[in-house]
Structure 1
Amino acid sequence: MNSSEAIYNGIKSAGINFIVSVPCANLKELLKLIDNDNEITHIPVTREEEGLGICAGAYMAGKRTCILMQNSGLGNCINALCSLYELYSFPLVMIMSHRGTEGESIVGQVPMGKATPKLLESLNLDYYKPYKITEAYNIVKNSWNDAVEEGKPVSILLEINYWKLEEE
């Protein structure tokens, strides 16, 4: 199992059946797996907060929701996370390609890479940073139940080096 398959299998095990995504090169293999799955509704969006609004509506219609995005879009989501998700205790799984971490080749990604955990903490949102394929699978598998139990989004930060992992 490679890194994308682990995340996909975790999504399936969690029963997540509605995903929005913002384009990201690191997520392209995962997105291919999702697009080939007839049990998952996948809606590509252009902005992260648009995706959060769509996920909120899908959750209210009985779906288990997830957004796939880069951490650089977290700043675009803060108002929706506070005024919608926190206010109404909506669960959501946020799987983020965590750019700007060790191994990042684009220096402009580094400031947001450093700020991402601090932003999540300031929003009182739980996050996980898996470093192994099986660890990522287990975190994603449990993420929906964690989000429902907590009544708030749960984030999974996949650092640059995560995408280079192969079978353990």
Structure 2
Amino acid sequence: MLDTKIFGEELQRLGFSFYSGVPCSFLKSLINYAINHCEYVGAANEGDAVAIASGARLTGKKSVVLMQNSGLTNAVSPLVSLNHPFQIPVLGFVSLRGEPGLRDEPQHELMGRITTDMLDLMQVKWQVLQPDMQKAKKQLAEAEQWIARNHSFFFVVKKGTFSEEPLQKQISSRPFPGSP
């Protein structure tokens, strides 16, 4: 299991301090870390999260997108018609609900089988995030290389990858940083 705080600090060391996403039980601790220690903008859906993170990237911020795989289909349009053609890279974390061989809710079963196929079809580079910190740091270094070449990179996150990170502060009710 990854220590969420150490992993989040490594992301910050690499310059990733802007996050956008939607709630996900597998990514709850990473979302809490982002809210506690970074700039986080909650999104109505995964496509909006990709668009928000892409906009932040255009302002020079290295951006992270957090989503459940059931919403990956919402992210298809911005990933293939915005990020890919205009080379706007984002770092993504997508949960693997419905992982083959594990019990989960029936609505996650099909998406669990096709999550990585969808990433491949969208030509998004991806890896399953390893729950070992040394391996995860190497994966982040590889992701960073793809981002530096203007390619989005996604980590597929299995259940239990992140340690508990309690929420320390609430999200602002302002929809965007700096808005009234």
Query: TM-score over 0.5 for the alignment?
Result: yes
Contact 1:10 1:139 in 2 (8 A): no
Q: One-letter code of the match for 1:28?
A: K
User: How far has the Cα of 1:35 moved from its partner?
Assistant: 1.7
Report the CA distance shift for 1:138/1:5 in structure 2 as closer, same or farther (over 3 A): farther
Q: One-letter code of the match for 1:107?
A: P
Unaligned runs of 5+ in 1: none
Q: Distance in 2 between matches of 1:15 and 1:36?
A: 16
| Counterpart residue number, 2:152 | 153
Q: One-letter code of the match for 2:17?
A: N
Computed over aligned residues only, the root mean square deviation of the Cα atoms, in angstroms, reads 2.1
Which stretches of structure 1, 4 residues or more, deviate above 6 A after TM superposition?
none
Unaligned runs of 5+ in 2: 164-180
Q: One-letter code of the match for 1:10?
A: E
Count of residues in Structure 1 that have an aligned counterpart in Structure 2: 162
Q: Which one has a larger percent helix, Structure 1 or Structure 2?
A: 1
Residue 86 of structure 2 corresponds to residue 70 of structure 1: no
User: How far has the Cα of 1:54 moved from its partner?
Assistant: 1.2
User: How far has the Cα of 1:91 moved from its partner?
Assistant: 0.8
Q: One-letter code of the match for 1:60?
A: L
Comparing 103-112 with 54-63, greater Cα deviation is found at: 103-112
**Alignment match of 2:79 (pick from 81, 84, 87):** 81
Residue 57 of structure 2 corresponds to residue 59 of structure 1: yes
Q: One-letter code of the match for 2:152?
A: P
User: How far has the Cα of 1:103 moved from its partner?
Assistant: 2.8
User: How far has the Cα of 1:13 moved from its partner?
Assistant: 2.6
Contact 1:127 1:155 in 2 (8 A): yes
User: How far has the Cα of 1:30 moved from its partner?
Assistant: 1.8
User: How far has the Cα of 1:136 moved from its partner?
Assistant: 2.4
| Counterpart residue number, 1:29 | 29
Deviation digits for residues 30-53 of structure 1, max 9, x if unmatched?
22222221xx21101111111111
Comparing 125-134 with 136-145, greater Cα deviation is found at: 136-145
Identity of aligned residues (%): 22
SS of the aligned residue for 2:61 comes to: coil
User: How far has the Cα of 1:7 moved from its partner?
Assistant: 3.5
Q: Distance in 2 between matches of 1:154 and 1:142?
A: 9
